[in-house]
Chains A and B, each alone.
Chain A
Amino acid sequence: KAGVTQTPRYLIKTRGQQVTLSCSPISGHRSVSWYQQTPGQGLQFLFEYFSETQRNKGNFPGRFSGRQFSNSRSEMNVSTLELGDSALYLCASSFASGIGEQYFGPGTRLTVT
Chain B
Amino acid sequence: LAKTTQPISMDSYEGQEVNITCSHNNIATNDYITWYQQFPSQGPRFIIQGYKTKVTNEVASLFIPADRKSSTLSLPRVSLSDTAVYYCLVGDDFGNEKLTFGTGTRLTIIP
Contacts and interface: CB of A to CB of B under 8 A. Distances in A.
Interface stretch (B65-73, B74-82, B84-92): B84-92
Contacts of A98: 91-97
Contacts of A101: 34, 46, 49
Tell me if A's interface is mostly helix, strand, loop or mixed.
strand
Contacts, number: 77
B43 A107 contact: yes
Interface string A65-105: 00000000000000000000000101010001111111111
A93 to B, nearest CB: 11
- Chain A interface residue number, banded: 20 to 34
Contacts of B87: 43
Contacts of B89: 99
Given A45-B99, A56-B98, A99 B43 contact: no
A45 B32 contact: no
Contacts of A44: 101
Contacts of B92: 98-99
Interface of A: 4, 31, 33, 35, 42-45, 48, 50, 55-58, 88, 90, 92, 96-107, 109
